[in-house]
Structure 1
């Protein structure tokens, strides 16, 4: 017998009859020596085909006789350790090893080897092994990165954490969670291939920076890894620099959250959650791109767990309260509607801000419970006020993406409106702009269904996402609510942008509402450009229905009559920025009240001594209908 066997040519390989029998077996067979390189001595044709080779000799040439030569770098260290633990045993020892490898044509696949240790007088300790190519569904490999899937990652890091318990002098380990900010924008600007290139490059850089450490592509644009390496922030900064060097046009922002595993902690999922929370804390933070998990985040996570566990109780026991914020029609300075806002008044934690419970309910897919409760409460309050003879106003409410994609909220809203006898023009449906980015066909059908039943649908937070104008083109909205970020810096530039948006909306016959308004200056500006409605702290903070109406009465702001709504909405469609003299008036046939006058028209009135002459150009005349 020669020192090595290939398995293709019996004469060349010097095969004994047993090796001829191995050639005839239906599965892949490999014989390799227990050594540093795990040197392959024999491979049959079926084994060679797993790596895309036609013979054992070709496989030997491809692998350079080393079993792990084509293994992915991220798996080499682990596979070596498993081989040492399982196969460097006495005669008859058995074991199995799984690792990812590249075939001759570069495809990533996962193989599983089942072997038995046998002693040979001349060649030493050998492993006789059967080798299988695992099916994709079983192997759970990410095709872009070659990383193992989430389940295998959790299993591996869990094993590491448990083994650490037996090592009193172990090196400190940290979980690192990474997020590619604006990954969707990168795909939109440069195409899906660039997005794939970005993910592959990050995977390669992570393997290079943290060799042998377990890494997983956690979701589309997230990675997670466990390492005992020191100076992890330096390594992460190096990855950012390398991406910038190779692709400066991407302007990539890589957020990082780091969690140091404390002694005694063995729950991998808990550790990953902490690292993810740290990463989330720097999202869209211009001053930080890396954060370590700290006690503040621990308190926040405890609150999130509390919210997720107690939403059913909060709904059942009335801890969720409906607050309202008034909306003012600028042309008349009257209250024309209100927005319903959820407030959680907890017996243990007091008042919870929406930011403390709404994202949690969305993440745990329980937001439907809150939204259904809100719709039902709004309709119940309407019926109760009507029965008591109290003032009522149209109310808008928000729906989440889960409401639209999972539940038939159209039917639910309509059922509640009918049950509590709420007219359809007294309810407005608000859909946040970010919701519209996913499953557009489903969202489009939902909006159309609301319209067919007679409900108005508004786009909330217009301008908060990257594709606002595309959404206006694709969807039919009755009203858009300008995002408050437009007014965070009330500069000349932001004024020009808001002017353009309002003017464009009027040409599309879409009403406008600006939210988050906090100053009289902002209110006067919005009124002057014809923005139809305004909402914000400049008018009132959210409160109960009756307290809001009392506050508005003290400010001498009238409530708009339901019968007048259509008239004022027609007036609101006029472009207040039309060049030349312009005004909006209402008249009962005898007297005239100016609702809006631009400077050019005002100068004409002054010149005419305040009289309304036949030669004056009245763009809108609203007649009272008794």
Structure 2
């Protein structure tokens, strides 16, 4: 059979995938294969490598339907042979052996070049081919991703279950890999969505070459999943990272990989994918290609994450989540000039959870906007309540995440809620961490400008910690920066830390930006920061965060610090503006 000059192939469908049994000499000649071993390898591992990207998913899906449901196989598609695309017409039917095995016999015909001359263009064949392409554009592939030609998630689950079984039969260990191209949104904004799709297509091709087409899938966006033999996996991934840096003419992104090996525990493919994704997201902010294995700590975190996600709506509805307020004191008059709203989750099962215990999970699940809009609603309710009781009102701040801006029009939502409540926009302050802004600097700069144009003050939170850069103060005009005071808590480094903090305060004041030091615990710290020119202070030294009811209780007991009046706030603001203009230091 292999010596036949007729272009045909014989396949068998085993363990949810196509296995090549025979390739004729005519097949090798038609498709330009000089080495039969190479041809067999490609047919088994990357059958659609040379197929035109617009046709790959369509004919792959037709092949799966032919293999699983029977009937006839009759497709027209384009494939690259030598330097150009040729139009191939493939027809197949099933044959049975004496032992009852079902085989697929497919014959191939070369119907001409894909770039015909004007006179050839109107041939019946090309009209038929154009019709086939039109039909395929209306048909949503049931088993393969249209952009990459890789199996989709549902078909991949079937392939992976069968494939993992084959690996285990050989007494080997399998692994599920979850991959994410790091920084796709920024890439699309910089180069456009067409270039982004081209990168995704090229990365899909690379995975098919590296792991075999049927071992990979694209569940959506810039995410990919692979099942593979775990032996030599780390070296294989390093090789993949190196190749990834060369695809798409150098316009590419680093890739993060999470690994779930069988050795951690036998679970179904869906669960293994979820756990590999968790491992993948551990280093989600590191802009470099890397891999990480799932482990026991991640499993505990996964269980907590799932609990928090599953119970968010209930926690909001039944007020397990409460909003606390911590006052901010102006050093010029010693009075409260604003308050920061902080969420606490008092869970009946897990106990009291601080923001760092649950917000990262909500950010990852793109649910944090529900929390932050809830906090905003509670802030507005408190302001209206204080107004009704005749108490002095000071602005309140809420912390936002980058995910807020991605999942909804958060600027529009805040404006809408403030307007409906009749609250001046300058009473609602938006706090953003530097790390949040740097995730997508240009986009976040635009959003900050939108907030300020709508009258909302924007504060930079946590400046001076981690990899803070003074350049952000040059590139974005903040209304205030909050300094991280953890430097003052290291006894052997206090002297050097004070020099740094004084320098940060002087820099901010020279740029006309107010400063707020958070995390104060002692009178000595307060005196040092006041003398250094810091305009606002916040911390346990003044008051711990309290609920709205706690604020009223402090009024009843006459133990409030005292709120500055609107007139005082205006005078202090004018004095600061004058000192900024004159380039002097702030006096108290």
TM-score by length of 1: 0.62
Tell me the equivalent position of 1:41. 26
1:542 and 2:559 matched: no
Secondary structure at the counterpart of residue 313 of structure 1? helix
Q: Is the 8 A contact 2:429 2:458 kept in 1?
A: yes
Deviates more, 1:208-217 or 1:237-246: 237-246
Tell me the equivalent position of 1:115. 92
Q: Is the 8 A contact 1:328 1:535 kept in 2?
A: yes
Distance 1:464 1:199 in 2: 35
Tell me the equivalent position of 2:320. 319
Tell me the equivalent position of 2:175. 174
More helix per residue: 2
Q: Is the 8 A contact 2:510 2:580 kept in 1?
A: no
Distance 1:112 1:494 in 2: 74
Tell me the equivalent position of 1:383. 384
Tell me the equivalent position of 1:75. 46
Secondary structure at the counterpart of residue 177 of structure 1? strand
Q: CA deviation at 1:373?
A: 2.0
1:159 and 2:163 matched: no
Tell me the equivalent position of 1:128. 107
Tell me the equivalent position of 2:308. 307
Q: Which of 530, 533, 537 is equivalent to 2:536?
A: 533
Q: 1:215 to 1:239 in 2, by over 3 A?
A: same
For each residue in 1:122-154, what CA deviation from the matched residue of structure 2 results, as whole angstroms up to 9, or x when unmatched?
xx99632579997689676697xxx545x6255
Distance 1:529 1:539 in 2: 19
1:512 and 2:515 matched: yes
Q: 1:190 to 1:416 in 2, by over 3 A?
A: closer
Q: 1:461 to 1:189 in 2, by over 3 A?
A: farther
Distance 2:523 2:357 in 1: 30
Tell me the equivalent position of 2:358. 357
Q: Is the 8 A contact 1:39 1:65 kept in 2?
A: no
Q: Is the 8 A contact 2:522 2:541 kept in 1?
A: yes
List gaps (5 residues or longer) in structure 2. 12-19, 50-55, 97-102, 111-128
For each residue in 1:355-403, what CA deviation from the matched residue of structure 2 results, as whole angstroms up to 9, or x when unmatched?
3332333343333332232222112222323334445432111344455
Secondary structure at the counterpart of residue 563 of structure 2? coil
For each residue in 1:480-525, what CA deviation from the matched residue of structure 2 results, as whole angstroms up to 9, or x when unmatched?
3346788798678876765565445445433333445567676555
Bigger RCO of structures 1 and 2 (CA < 8 A, at least 6 apart):
2
List gaps (5 residues or longer) in structure 1. 7-29, 44-56, 586-594, 596-626
Q: Is the 8 A contact 1:95 1:116 kept in 2?
A: yes
Q: 1:169 to 1:533 in 2, by over 3 A?
A: same
Q: CA deviation at 1:212?
A: 7.0
Q: Highest Rg: 1 or 2?
A: 1
For each residue in 1:543-571, what CA deviation from the matched residue of structure 2 results, as whole angstroms up to 9, or x when unmatched?
32465798999999553333211222344
Distance 1:245 1:413 in 2: 44
Aligned residue pairs total 526
Q: Map 1:352-501 to 2 at 5 A.
A: 352-390=353-391, 392-401=393-402, 403-404=404-405, 407=408, 409-410=410-411, 412-414=413-415, 416-417=417-418, 422-433=423-434, 434=436, 437=441, 439=443, 443=447, 446-451=450-455, 455-461=456-462, 476-482=477-483
Q: Is the 8 A contact 1:116 1:129 kept in 2?
A: no
Q: 1:237 to 1:516 in 2, by over 3 A?
A: farther
Q: CA deviation at 1:344?
A: 1.6
Q: 1:191 to 1:445 in 2, by over 3 A?
A: closer
Distance 1:87 1:370 in 2: 49
Distance 1:72 1:525 in 2: 73
Distance 1:465 1:38 in 2: 60
Deviates more, 1:171-180 or 1:96-105: 96-105
Q: CA deviation at 1:115?
A: 1.7
TM-score by length of 2: 0.66
Distance 1:567 1:380 in 2: 28
Q: CA deviation at 1:290?
A: 5.3
For each residue in 1:32-83, what CA deviation from the matched residue of structure 2 results, as whole angstroms up to 9, or x when unmatched?
467756135269xxxxxxxxxxxxx7x444676889479599525999xx99
The alignment's C-alpha RMSD in Å is 6.0
Distance 1:316 1:442 in 2: 33
Q: Which of 561, 567, 572 is equivalent to 2:565?
A: 561
Secondary structure at the counterpart of residue 115 of structure 1? strand
Tell me the equivalent position of 1:293. 294
Distance 1:462 1:99 in 2: 57
Deviates more, 1:274-283 or 1:371-380: 274-283
For each residue in 1:305-331, what CA deviation from the matched residue of structure 2 results, as whole angstroms up to 9, or x when unmatched?
222222222222222211112222234
Distance 2:566 2:208 in 1: 65
Distance 2:189 2:64 in 1: 48
Q: Map 1:243-258 to 2 at 5 A.
A: 256-258=257-259
Q: 1:382 to 1:400 in 2, by over 3 A?
A: same
